[in-house]
Structure 1
């Protein structure tokens, strides 16, 4: 049945060649480093040697309007890039590990989105031998601080470096032209650091939910992968909660912080990759890889209450990577970063997106799965290129960063029947993050940095089953 939907974003394709990017090999492990089959992001950014793919489409209503960003450090070298965030007309772009990391967060003025202007950089020289992937910026009002607060993930390139340390940095960016360092929260030296994080504000207090992969495993339980840190006084961040997965009935007492003997009798990886919180600051969604997306009531952040979690079929790699919410917090979007599609005893597929009804937080119900045309296209030597990465939702449109697949726009007005309505695929696409701000979409490409896209609401025909 064909019906017309009003005011749904119809994205478009910028036809592009997807080829193997020339990206150096890195020793740092950002994801499932204990699995033994990891390629670092950026290494598998194309489709394999001597392989070229064209994704064809029509350019409509989604246009790249800014020139390619060329961010060069004072030493003349360029970093690769991490995630992107926007706040009050400024874009904050994290950096990856190329050329030794320490690229910090690059801040761009977006008064004219077609001409982003880099105005400052921060968190770049604070901790030697680290990289700064993730940044969250929010307006905060507490007894100790009033203004715009930025929290930045800090990860070590080499845990053996005595001068290095992982955790997260806290900056005052009330004046984004002159960021000021306020504090540094440290996680155990034995782990790489804080991979992803989230900042939430409630009742005149501010909290960071930190994802510290393998902290439990490497510290033998002394510190945990998921920690909640009170940053109401940004100069004195204080840990108030740590999550022990052993409180869950499905996790045995002998869980070692990584190897989980799941109910399907498989030994699966379970570690915290990412965190996020709903707009009211009530529920937290913690991406625990094969343990699924774990849901907590954090009405009292010092005493979270476990509510429920998503589960997987026995032949599905879990790889719960990131989460987003839709429909007023009643629908959960879960992206799964499966980069090894030929793992024994599992389905032959790269990572794809799952959509859940979570009105009952104790019992998430799978509504649908969205798969791009890339996820079942298994190719030798291709890892991250074909998997989905991060989700963002605005209204009834889900935006996905998809590495070589660029940015995808998916109509989820009917969560049980998601429909791709557009895609943007730049040349040599390696899209890490996506963020929607006002009337434009921001994307961060590992190799080339910030992308600025315009969007337009139009009428379009949607084919529904």
Structure 2
């Protein structure tokens, strides 16, 4: 989401273990239907995708936005503006809620590492507790940043540390180290009247979490990635505005190659992360013609391509229509050379137009591990989940989709993140909760043999072996 400081409902802290009803997938009435074919809230999907389950938000999470996800073993960790939820996905047709941790703080982006979970708070709070209330960022004592939880008991997570970071934490990216984790914190929207978020803020914050002493987590560096100020922002000749760079919106690391790709509002970058405490920007691209807001980045399996997304309209606008067209609010596919040079190849946007009441734009996705091909699943908010192929970087194409008809009454919704993990696609829907999909495409079957112990989509693993793979730690 582009808008920061959107405040959730305030509720007392604490952990609620809830069972949450699981809705079975409906009969095949929506096969082949998508976009403008769908009635309000009707489910539509291509023949090669099956909807297995949906778990709605419950309790204080009802009506709060579902956000990003991470995975470990048989568990999915799903952020929500109200906190985070841990699901048991050992039976993907019947996910069960293990815990709801009530800890309001906007986005609540998640990463997991061993027994630890890192949670991003990106709204100004009265303090670092889970019972905090909204408080203006103009107040020096206000808090936002990274919260660290011990999730070794998934039914009763424990809150172990809070680390304040400049401008809060819109997103966080795990860069694993031997004895410590490095959490790269992306944040933005500096203002002169915010004491903890001063302009120009062209930096990220690096939080170091010693694995044996997570309670001593602290900011160890705040490298300035854009000493020249980055893209100043402006309006192009076509009259379309593009964002100024003030830090990054999101970063995806590829630890095995010791590089990371940053989507930094007005700029796309590649960083050298050989020394995770001192990332260095080694490549930078801009696109003032078509990109309004560089939002996220995904490497292909080989690390030879990067898909950047443009979150035109901040996630709340209807951009999937003829008026906006196929090159804005889209993905941009770049090739990445051995010397880490980025070269633009093409744009990809879902070919299914959406109603003008439906917020729809490129959002979070991940690679489907198929040898010899570049295939991705990706969220497009109310445009649904798109399964697409960019093996030919100049000619990407959609292979399948899953989506719902427009929300009634009209509201911001749709899928925030869609990720492939151990044979299934999991989708976090802003309004509808947690969805599980299965890919029925026989050409993608080998992907199901790949088994990971852990997946943080913004910390990309190496997939190896014959249609199989191991997560190299």
TM-score tier by shorter-chain length is 0.7 to 0.9
Cα offset for 1:135?
A: 0.7
Deviates more, 1:392-401 or 1:217-226: 217-226
Change (3 A) 1:378 1:358: farther
1:31 is the counterpart of 2:2: yes
User: Which one of 109, 119, 125 corresponds to residue 134 of structure 1?
Assistant: 109
Cα offset for 1:58?
A: 6.2
CA distance in 2, matches of 1:391, 1:76: 23
Change (3 A) 1:104 1:135: same
Q: Is the 8 A contact 1:209 1:276 kept in 2?
A: no
Q: Is the 8 A contact 2:295 2:310 kept in 1?
A: yes
Cα offset for 1:456?
A: 3.0
CA distance in 2, matches of 1:417, 1:267: 25
CA distance in 2, matches of 1:370, 1:81: 25
Q: Is the 8 A contact 1:335 1:389 kept in 2?
A: yes
1:60 is the counterpart of 2:36: no
Cα offset for 1:175?
A: 2.6
Change (3 A) 1:33 1:57: closer
Aligned to 1:89: 74
Q: Is the 8 A contact 2:417 2:427 kept in 1?
A: yes
Aligned to 2:434: 450
1:72 is the counterpart of 2:58: yes
CA distance in 1, matches of 2:62, 2:443: 45
Instruction: Within 5 Å, give how 1:27-426 maps onto structure 2.
Output: 31=2, 53-55=36-38, 59-66=46-53, 68-73=54-59, 78-96=63-81, 103-122=82-101, 124-125=102-103, 130-139=105-114, 148-156=115-123, 158-160=134-136, 165-188=143-166, 191=167, 193-215=168-190, 218=194, 219-221=197-199, 225-232=203-210, 233-248=213-228, 251=229, 259-260=232-233, 268-271=243-246, 272-280=248-256, 282-291=258-267, 293-312=268-287, 314-339=288-313, 350-360=328-338, 362-374=340-352, 379=356, 385-395=359-369, 396-426=374-404
Tell me the secondary structure at the aligned position of residue 53 of structure 1.
helix
Q: Is the 8 A contact 1:216 1:224 kept in 2?
A: no
Unaligned runs of 5+ in 1: 1-29, 41-51, 97-102, 140-147, 253-257, 461-465
Cα offset for 1:350?
A: 4.4
Tell me the secondary structure at the aligned position of residue 303 of structure 1.
coil
Cα offset for 1:286?
A: 1.7
Unaligned runs of 5+ in 2: 9-34, 125-133, 408-412, 445-473
Cα offset for 1:437?
A: 1.0
Cα offset for 1:363?
A: 2.5
Aligned positions, number: 377
Q: Is the 8 A contact 1:411 1:421 kept in 2?
A: yes
Cα offset for 1:263?
A: 11
TM-score, normalised to structure 2, is 0.71
Change (3 A) 1:54 1:159: farther
CA distance in 1, matches of 2:397, 2:251: 26
CA distance in 1, matches of 2:4, 2:252: 22
1:432 is the counterpart of 2:416: yes
Q: Deviations over 1:54-108 (max 9, x none)?
A: 2597642311111x323322x6955231122221111111113xxxxxx211111
Q: Is the 8 A contact 1:390 1:400 kept in 2?
A: yes
CA distance in 1, matches of 2:235, 2:214: 39
CA distance in 2, matches of 1:300, 1:321: 24
Tell me the secondary structure at the aligned position of residue 112 of structure 1.
coil
Q: Is the 8 A contact 1:241 1:301 kept in 2?
A: no
Cα offset for 1:240?
A: 2.5
CA distance in 2, matches of 1:246, 1:459: 43
Higher relative contact order (CA 8 A, sep 6+): 1
TM-score, normalised to structure 1, is 0.72
